[in-house]
Chain A
Amino acid sequence: MTSLIIDNLHKSYGDLKALDGVSFAVSNGEIFGFVGGNGAGKTTTMRIILGVLAANSGDVLWNDHPISLEDRRRIGYMPSERGLYPAMTVRDQLVYFARLKGVSAKAAAQAAVRWTERLNLAHRLDDKLQALSLGNQQRAQLAAALIADPEILVLDEPFSGLDPIAVDVMSEVLREAAASGVPVIFSSHQLALVETLCDRVGIIEQGKMVAVGSVEALATPEHPRFEVYGAPPEAWMGSLPDAHILEQAPSTTPGSTSIRTVLEIPGGDGQAVLAAALGAGPVTSFRPSRPTLTDLYRHVVSDKEATE
């Protein structure tokens, strides 16, 4: 089932270890979020997948064989360093890239129209790239990645520099791609977005994968957590000696005087928490809570730094 396997990649630039045994796998139809600080190794890994860069050791496997140039032509790629031909029209370059990937001239011309329509760029098809706004250049770049109906999508920071509408379009396109069976890998610093979009995430830090898995699995806390909107926790936490406050802040809802409290409790007796809170005043919201990807990221990265 697993279609793309990144197996123990090592890459050094002189004394600098850019990748130190990076391994993960992405299944067909899965959206994999690649998360990590600047210089952690995301772009280097993606470049090695695309064969633009050679690893010192390690393999990239596609359907259980080492990925070939022919396979790589089936990858839709959005490099971190954006770039198309500035003096070429959007149509000409989309057709060019599609044909380089093996699509016939006629099908390429149709795909250029189809994808620019999908990405709201059709009205700029015959404009030179350099005449486009940065946002539209970004759409053209995405169109270039999608133009040849790729079997794998590798997108380096596809959301950076996009307006909210374009973010929605991009998210939709990634979901559709995955739904059609394409494995999708993308990197992003927008962790909330990664959390909502991705089936699985990989966190890379200093060239090493520090966490790989579904957000749910990674973020399942040691003790159950609950989020309560109600009276200040000091007023009712006394009856819950094992509970531990994680967050506490006034509600952001206008006109509300309630306090938002996130707590964790060993044993996880939610009903006891709710009862205690109700005893201190009205509760406007109560739900189980789990850490966000942002929490998780901060946690694993700070753990990693602490052990160094």
Chain B
Amino acid sequence: MSTPATKPAVSSPAAPAGWRSIFLVAEREVMTRLRQRVFLISTAVLVSAVVLGILAAHFLGGETHVMQLATTDSSFAQELEATTHAMGIESNVTVVADRSAGEAQLSSGDIEALIIPGSDGNLTAVVESTLDSTLQPALHGLAQQLALSDQVTSLGGDPTTVAAAVASANVTVDALNPPVERDIGQMVVGMLIGILLFVSINICGQMVAGGVVEEKTSRVVELLLSTVKPSQLMSGKVLGIGAIGLLQVILVGGAAAITATATGVLSGMGLNLGISLLWGLIWFIIGFATFATVLAALGALVSRQEEVGSATMPAIMLMIVPYIIGINVLPNDPTSPLATTLSYVPGMAPFLMPIREALGVASLPEQLLALAISIATIPVLVWFAGRIYGNAVLRTGARIKLADALKTT
């Protein structure tokens, strides 16, 4: 067996064995996960979710609603259309012969309202059941204008002069605290990035914890640790799964960017999708780095897959809280003081800052500050996690208390 002829197969001891071990562990994780159904299915689900979501937004929300109206008076038709347009209602006015013809179109659903000007200047709106709430004030204003014109005419004035004077009368608004301009595109992208980050960091974090427990359950960890250090095993696992997660995020983000560009759904919106996705990517790396080692340590405390959930619960809660705030509070209230404050807290920043970025309420210095705080925290977490992992990973059996795992053995 150990004949001298086979010895050259062994690499020289001078090679940086530590990095090589970490690389080999990471490589095994990548190769194994790539073939795993969990990864393939979750990636497929996420990619199709963003693609379908963007396509749906494109086809459903892409066109504004044009209100179909009819009137019996052809001279009135133009006035009706002008007034509704002035009120911001897209409308298309057709002229029908009489009320019964209009009613027929109403019941067939071709038009939404039949407007009949009365001889007294009052308007009658015939509708199927209720008058559209945006149309009501428009018609009300139109009726008032008609009544005014009648009075001006009967007093000998010129209704068009009066109308022009009325139309030019305006209110200038001087807001002390103007609301931040934001549009639906920013909100959608912000929420999508928030969801994507939460799902990806969560899935990858659980993979780390599950992988640690798998090695404990199958007892292979003892054989591994006779060859590599616990810190190398943990680092390799975290880096390997991190690479897989990054690949997933890039696939999903890329699919989103391509679909959005192809459909032009975000064109004209106040948002740079590329920049937002880049920040999403950065925050995925930071978020994963923050949680992965912690989850590896928590996973090392238990020996059975059934216990992984309860062991990792504290860390998972730390993801869920900012996630809930991020996708529920921020889109409605982008400057929420709570969400803004929490977006600097390590562990929470990865779920809040990218949404604030997408909403356009986080300046570059703010984002860099949050990034710096998070990055500074990671070595501390890695140190604690490495200690817990190293002390706990070879102890199979009952769940180990966190305090015991922190003690030197």
Interface residues of A (CB under 8 A from B): 47, 50-54, 69-70, 72-73, 75, 77, 79, 81-88, 96-97, 99-104, 107-108, 111, 144, 146, 148-151, 173, 176-177, 180-182
A85 near B220 (CB under 8 angstroms)? yes
Within 8 A of A (CB), among B105-163: none
Given the complex of chains A and B, what is the CA–CA distance between A134 and B44 in angstroms?
Answer: 37
Given the contacts A81-B219, A103-B10, A51 and B2 also touching, CB distance less than 8 Å = no
Q: Is the CB of A52 within 8 A of B2?
A: no
| Contact between chains at A149 and B6 (CB < 8 Å) | yes
Closest Cβ of chain A: how far from B231's Cβ, in Å? 11
Check A52 against B219 for contact (C-beta < 8 Å).
no
Chain A residues closer than 8 Å to B220, beta-carbon distance: 83-85
Q: When A53-B394, A88-B32, A149-B7 are in contact, do A100 and B227 touch as well, CB less than 8 Å?
A: yes
Q: List 29 A-B contacts (CB under 8 A).
A: A47-B222, A69-B17, A72-B227, A81-B219, A83-B218, A83-B219, A83-B220, A84-B220, A84-B223, A85-B214, A85-B215, A85-B220, A97-B223, A97-B227, A99-B24, A100-B25, A101-B227, A102-B11, A102-B20, A103-B11, A104-B11, A107-B9, A111-B6, A111-B9, A144-B223, A146-B1, A151-B2, A181-B2, A182-B2
Which single residue of chain B is at the shortest CB-CB distance from A104? Answer: B9
**Minimum CB distance partner of B221 in chain A:** A83
Check if B10 sits within 8 Å of A83, measured CB to CB: no
If A73-B17, A84-B220 are given as contacts, then 20 extra A-B residue pairs at C-beta distance below 8 Å, sorted by A number, are A72-B226, A77-B226, A79-B219, A81-B219, A81-B222, A83-B219, A83-B220, A83-B221, A85-B214, A88-B32, A99-B24, A100-B224, A101-B227, A102-B20, A103-B10, A104-B9, A108-B9, A150-B2, A180-B1, A182-B1
B222 x A79 contact (CB < 8 A): yes
Interfacial chain A residues near B222, Cβ < 8 Å: 47, 52, 79, 81, 83
B337 within 8 A of A: no
Minimum CB distance partner of A13 in chain B: B409
B85 within 8 A of A: no
B365 close to A (CB within 8 Å):
no
Q: How many residues of B contact A (CB 8 A)?
A: 34
Alpha-carbon distance A294/B223, docked complex (angstroms): 31
B17 touches A102 (CB 8 A): yes
Asked whether, in the complex, the Cβ of A96 is within 8 Å of the Cβ of B10, the reply is: no
0/1 string, B7-21, CB within 8 A of A gives 1: 101110101010011
Chain A residue with Cβ nearest B216? A83
Nearest opposing residue in chain B for A118, CB measure: B1
Distance between Cα atoms of A181 and B13 in the complex (Å) = 21
Q: How far is the CA of A52 from the CA of B20 in the complex (A)?
A: 20
Tell whether, in the assembled complex, residue B24 and residue A52 are in contact, meaning their CB atoms are under 8 Å apart. Answer: no
Set of chain A residues within 8 Å of B11, measured between Cβ atoms:
102-104
A99 vs B17: C-alpha distance in the bound complex, in angstroms?
11
The docked-state distance in angstroms from the alpha carbon of A54 to that of B224 is 16
What are the residues of chain A within 8 A of B401 when measuring CB–CB? none
A residues less than 8 Å from B9 (CB atoms)? 103-104, 107-108, 111, 149
Asked if B362 lies at the interface with its beta carbon under 8 angstroms from chain A, I say no
CB contacts (< 8 Å) of A181 on chain B: these are 2
Asked if B225 lies at the interface with its beta carbon under 8 angstroms from chain A, I say: yes
Give the Cβ gap from A98 to chain B, nearest Cβ, in Å.
9
Cβ-closest chain B residue relative to A93: B220
* A100 close to B21 (CB less than 8 A): yes
Does B64 have its Cβ within 8 Å of any Cβ on chain A?
Answer: no
Residues of A within 8 A of B226 (CB): 50-52, 72, 75, 77, 79
Task: Judge whether A96 and B2 touch: CB under 8 Å.
Answer: no
CA distance A53 to B393 in the complex (A): 11
Asked if A177 and B223 sit within 8 Å, CB to CB, the answer is no
B221 CB to nearest A CB, Å = 7
A41 to B394, CA, bound (A): 17
Report the bound CA distance from A96 to B240 in whole Å. Answer: 15
Name B18's closest neighbour in chain A (CB-CB): A69
The answer to the question of B3 belonging to the interface, with a C-beta cut-off of 8 Å to chain A, is yes
Q: How many angstroms from the CA of A51 to the CA of B222 in the assembled complex?
A: 10
Q: What A residues does B6 contact at CB under 8 A? A: 107, 111, 149
- Return the 7 tightest CB-CB contacts between A and B, nearest first: A83-B219, A107-B9, A83-B220, A81-B219, A50-B226, A79-B222, A77-B226
**Chain B proximity of A83: nearest CB distance (Å):** 3
What's the nearest-Cβ distance from chain A to residue B11, in Å? 5
In the assembled complex, which residues on chain A have CB atoms less than 8 Å from the CB atom of B228? Answer: 100
> Judging by beta carbons under 8 Å apart, are A96 and B24 in contact?
yes
With a CB–CB cut-off of 8 A, which chain B residues contact A148? 10
Contact call A180/B3, Cβ cutoff below 8 A: yes
Q: Which residues of A contact B28 (CB under 8 A)?
A: 96
Set of chain B residues within 8 Å of A173, measured between Cβ atoms: 1
Interchain nearest-CB distance for B152 vs A (Å): 87
Closest residue of A by beta carbon distance from B23: A99
Nearest opposing residue in chain A for B15, CB measure: A102
Closest Cβ of chain B to A140, distance in Å, is 11
Residues in A with CB closer than 8 Å to B221 are 83
Q: How far is the CB of A92 from chain B (nearest CB, A)?
A: 8
Distance, CA A70 to CA B226, complexed state (A)? 10
Q: Mark B21-34, 1 if CB is under 8 A from A, else 0.
A: 10011001000100
CA distance A73 to B228 in the complex (A): 8
Smallest beta-carbon distance B255→chain A, Å = 29
- The answer to whether A85 and B218 have CB atoms under 8 Å apart is yes
Q: How far is the CB of A279 from chain B (nearest CB, A)?
A: 55
- Are A177 and B1 neighbours in the complex by a CB distance under 8 Å? yes
**Contact of A84 with B1 in the complex, beta carbons under 8 Å:** no
**Separation of A51 and B24 alpha carbons in the complex (Å):** 20
Known contacts A85-B218, A99-B24, A102-B17, A149 near B224 by CB under 8 Å: no
Known contacts A83-B219, A104-B9: A177-B224 contact under CB 8 Å: no
Contact residue among A102, A103, A176 (Cβ-Cβ distance under 8 Å from B1): A176
CA distance A85 to B218 in the complex (A): 7
> Nearest Cβ in chain A — how far from B361, in angstroms?
46
